[in-house]
Amino acid sequence: MAAFTAHTSAATSLYSPAGTAILLRSRSRAYPTTTTIRVSCSKTVVIGVAADSGCGKSTFMRRLTSVLGGGAEPPRGGNPNSNTLVSDTATVICLDDYHSLDRAGRKAKGVTALDPRAHDFDLMYEQVRAIKEGRAVEKPVYNHVTGRLDPPELITPPEILVIKGLHSMYDERVRDLLDLSIYLDISNEVKFAWKVQRDMAERGHSLESIRASIEARKPDFDAYIEPQKQYADAVIEVLPTQLIPGPGDDEGKVLRVKLIMKEGVEHFAPVYLFDEGSTVNWIPCGRKLSCSYPGIRFAYGFGAYFGHEVSVVEMDGQFDKLDELIYVETHLSNLSTKFYGEVAQQMLKHADFPGSNNGTGLFQTIVGLKIRDLYEQIVARR
Amino acid sequence: MAAFTAHTSAATSLYSPAGTAILLRSRSRAYPTTTTIRVSCSKTVVIGVAADSGCGKSTFMRRLTSVLGGGAEPPRGGNPNSNTLVSDTATVICLDDYHSLDRAGRKAKGVTALDPRAHDFDLMYEQVRAIKEGRAVEKPVYNHVTGRLDPPELITPPEILVIKGLHSMYDERVRDLLDLSIYLDISNEVKFAWKVQRDMAERGHSLESIRASIEARKPDFDAYIEPQKQYADAVIEVLPTQLIPGPGDDEGKVLRVKLIMKEGVEHFAPVYLFDEGSTVNWIPCGRKLSCSYPGIRFAYGFGAYFGHEVSVVEMDGQFDKLDELIYVETHLSNLSTKFYGEVAQQMLKHADFPGSNNGTGLFQTIVGLKIRDLYEQIVARR
């Protein structure tokens, strides 16, 4: 935690290298933060989603836009390499677009994409604020294929703006703009297992090279990314299962997932199991519901998370059958569903998404429903 | 378990000593099992309660008759040393009244009161059957003060007959007459702690003599009393707490109590917590309910008990305040209460009874409510 300082206080030293500062200024000029366009929607609800790469941000975005309704696609007629997703209600922007150093620049300076020095937080803040206030912006586009910055794209204020990336909650000014913030926290064991699965099986990398690449990222991850979870209103924490005794082959396959929800957040009522504010352990598999090995276990409780009071719902294990999912949904409260079985319906609709049979999919879906609910509460209040 | 054989098969050898057999026959003649009196109530519901001495049978009876309504008193104008309790609805008879050997007889033969040879099961069966069929009986009276048999007393068929004693479920023929059977199962540690509390504090016995008396009873208890629990529809099992780590002074004070309920018993729907047929652990103390050390923990689950499928509700810890009790009552299901808070009301009404602040009182009260419910279901069906 000591390595982490809020952006505002760290800004001076971080931006002191002359070249970076010039780039920052030139960028601010190149991309005016405001236009004269005013949209009918008076104020945009802003959601921040932070996580390391390969931790399921994109899957979460697909679940979220599905819950919000309407298909999400890149801006029509725009850059085919745009990182933005636009749906009827929501626009998702990727914070990689605020890279102040492109791939070559990062390489030249020996700075990773995790390092705040590679990002233009001033521009990010100004543009997110502009959108929140109802003004369109010309947002930069980082091209993940070329590793360079492409011409900017126009972002008009949507009803819901989701900013997702490595640093969504890094800058205090940006944090203050967020109506809700979510951190996807994948434990080292699971991250390693996922990376092995993807990079070894699909890309032919060696186990050693995967381990080395994780190790190389770790100092910056620990210093700049992970500490953001203290600011999150909701954290989805992914851990190895505890249902299978001892370390085994199932690591990274069977998962224990926690949904940590901050108390007292406006328009965000934490989900609970059976009895709000108590501590519950629940194995739904039994007389009415049969489950295959290793079964499913839920836990619910409360506690402190970085000094904040939180409620925690945990799921260990995975769903084998639809009726298991519906059964579980029936017993969770404060889900913000609009009809009986909506969580199950959402998860079935995207059964091909990673995690649709376990707590990652369940809690991503639930957080999506909570975001829709939060948005509707804010709109209703206006 | 091997030492235990059903009465019917064991009868020949048990009653083979000539003296005992004669006593048995003479007793049968002395107390005719039937009279010509027919009561309006066509059929009596019969409940069996078995337990060792000093295990809370009498407290349970007081809770039960209170739930059934009306005060329970010894038969009016009868033997002041009668062991019977009569209320508007229920009559409770003590099976010590079926002693075939009085105190001197047992001493002469070297037989304890736990030994079936000291009991007249034939008479017990005939009289319980007679009452169940609506016929009054002249029941023997064992005088606990003199240790001898007093003249018999008339028992007219009540709506509910409770037979309580050491051997309520020992005889197969009597078991078949029971509409519901309950066993109070006090673990050795708790039994010892209770005995120390009573016999040492109140009667000045030494710790060694208490231990010796328990040890002396143990073989007969293990052979004849404890095996009855396999036949019980409900078992209240009392164990030392698990909330206080390590063996300590609190043994026998803070209790962990289980209510084990057989599945598939007619008119007896097991109590459950939150989700019927699943496994739940619940610590109600938390945000809404504050509890003092060591708190309260509930568990609910299912399993096998002597080859029968059972549901189990467990309470560890004790109630300090009324709101804790009401809170817990609110979250238990299938309690067979007639109004909100009836369990709490019953326990408060008898706050001076032993166990009114823990699981023994809670589950005794609940079993009382289940008996009332069973009775009402049987009556409704007629």
Q: What is the pLDDT of residue A250?
A: 53
pLDDT in tens, B85-110: 999 999 999 999 999 999 999 999 99
Task: Please check the confidence at residue A249 and state whether its pLDDT lies above 60.
Answer: no
**Which chain A positions have a beta carbon within 8 Å of B287's beta carbon?**
276-278, 302
pLDDT in tens, A313-368: 999 999 998 888 999 999 999 999 999 999 999 999 999 999 999 999 999 999 99
pLDDT in tens, B161-218: 999 999 999 999 999 999 999 999 999 999 988 888 888 877 788 889 888 988 999 9
At A207, the pLDDT band (50, 70, 90 cuts) reads confident
Rounded to the nearest 10°, the torsion over CA B364, B368, B369, B372 is 170
Using a 10 angstrom Cβ sphere, with 0-12 exposed, 13-18 middle and 19 or more buried, the burial of residue B194 is middle
B223 DSSP assignment: I
Query: Given an 8 Å threshold on Cβ–Cβ distance, is A288 in contact with B302?
Result: no
A121–chain B nearest CA distance, Å: 39
- What is the biggest distance separating any 2 CA atoms in chain B, rounded to whole angstroms? 69
Q: Write the secondary structure of A200-265 as one string of H (helix), E (strand) and C (coil).
A: HCCCCCCHHHHHHHHHHHHHHHHHHHHHHHHHCCEEEEEEECCCCCCCCCCECCEEEEEEEEECCC
* pTM for this model (two decimals): 0.84
Task: Please check the confidence at residue B39 and state whether its pLDDT lies above 90.
Answer: no
d(CA B177, CA B245): 44
Q: Is-contact B186 B236, C-beta < 8 A?
A: no
B288–chain A nearest CA distance, Å: 6
Helices and strands (DSSP H and E) totals, chain B: 11, 14
Task: Please check the confidence at residue A213 and state whether its pLDDT lies above 90.
Answer: no
Task: For chain B, say whether A280 makes contact (Cβ under 8 Å).
Answer: yes
Q: What is the pLDDT of residue A197?
A: 83
User: If you search the block for the tokens 């328990």, which residue do you land on?
Assistant: B214
Q: What is the pLDDT of residue B200?
A: 81
Query: Given an 8 Å threshold on Cβ–Cβ distance, is B280 in contact with A285?
Result: no
d(CA B68, CA B154): 22
Interface mutation vs chain A, best among B280, B302, B314, B330, most A CBs within 10 Å: B280
Query: Given an 8 Å threshold on Cβ–Cβ distance, is A284 in contact with B275?
Result: yes
Q: What is the pLDDT of residue A252?
A: 64
Query: Given an 8 Å threshold on Cβ–Cβ distance, is A275 in contact with B302?
Result: no
Which residue of chain A is at minimal alpha-carbon distance from B290?
Answer: A278
3-class DSSP state of B269: coil
A297–chain B nearest CA distance, Å: 9
3-class DSSP state of B81: coil
- What is the biggest distance separating any 2 CA atoms in chain A, rounded to whole angstroms? 69
Task: For chain B, say whether A281 makes contact (Cβ under 8 Å).
Answer: yes
Task: For chain B, say whether A289 makes contact (Cβ under 8 Å).
Answer: yes
Report the residue from B281, B285, B289 with minimal CB separation from A281: B281
Q: How many CB pairs under 8 A join A and B?
A: 67
Neighbours of B147 (CB within 10 A): 14
| A308, containing H or E segment | strand A308-317
The tokens describing A173, both together, are 């000014």
**Which chain B positions have a beta carbon within 8 Å of A283's beta carbon?**
278-280
Overall average pLDDT of the A243-247 stretch: 80
Query: Given an 8 Å threshold on Cβ–Cβ distance, is B286 in contact with A277?
Result: yes
pLDDT in tens, B268-299: 999 999 999 999 999 999 998 888 889 999 99
Task: For chain A, say whether B288 makes contact (Cβ under 8 Å).
Answer: yes
Using a 10 angstrom Cβ sphere, with 0-12 exposed, 13-18 middle and 19 or more buried, the burial of residue B253 is middle
d(CA B273, CA B295): 18
d(CA B3, CA A80): 83
d(CA B173, CA B125): 6
* Contact residues for B146 (Cβ-Cβ < 8 A; gap 6+): B81
Rounded to the nearest 10°, the torsion over CA A38, A40, A43, A48 is -90
Best mean pLDDT range from A191-205, A244-258, B117-131? B117-131
What integer best gives the mean pLDDT of chain B? 87
Report the residue from A274, A276, A281 with minimal CB separation from B288: A276
Q: Tell which residue, A92, A95, A99, A90, has the closest CA to residue A119.
A: A99
Q: Tell which residue, B255, B251, B141, has the closest CA to residue B193.
A: B251
Q: What is the pLDDT of residue B197?
A: 83
A271 DSSP assignment: P
Q: Tell which residue, A120, A138, A131, has the closest CA to residue A161.
A: A131
Query: Given an 8 Å threshold on Cβ–Cβ distance, is A282 in contact with B285?
Result: no
* ipTM confidence: 0.80
Q: What letters, b where the CB count within 10 A reaches 16 and e where it falls short, cover A313-346?
A: bbbbbbbeeeebbbbbbeebebbbbeeeebbbeb
d(CA A226, CA A185): 8
**Which chain B positions have a beta carbon within 8 Å of A286's beta carbon?**
277-279, 301-302
Q: Tell which residue, B52, B56, B71, has the closest CA to residue B358.
A: B56
Q: Tell which residue, B281, B261, B280, has the closest CA to residue B271.
A: B261
What integer best gives the mean pLDDT of chain A? 87
The tokens describing A318, both together, are 């995975």
Q: Is-contact A296 A315, C-beta < 8 A?
A: yes
Task: Please check the confidence at residue A27 and state whether its pLDDT lies above 80.
Answer: no
Phi-psi bin for A349: left (phi > 0), alpha (psi -120 to 50), beta?
A: alpha
Q: What is the pLDDT of residue B32?
A: 44
Task: For chain A, say whether B279 makes contact (Cβ under 8 Å).
Answer: yes
Q: Tell which residue, B222, B230, B37, B224, has the closest CA to residue B121.
A: B224
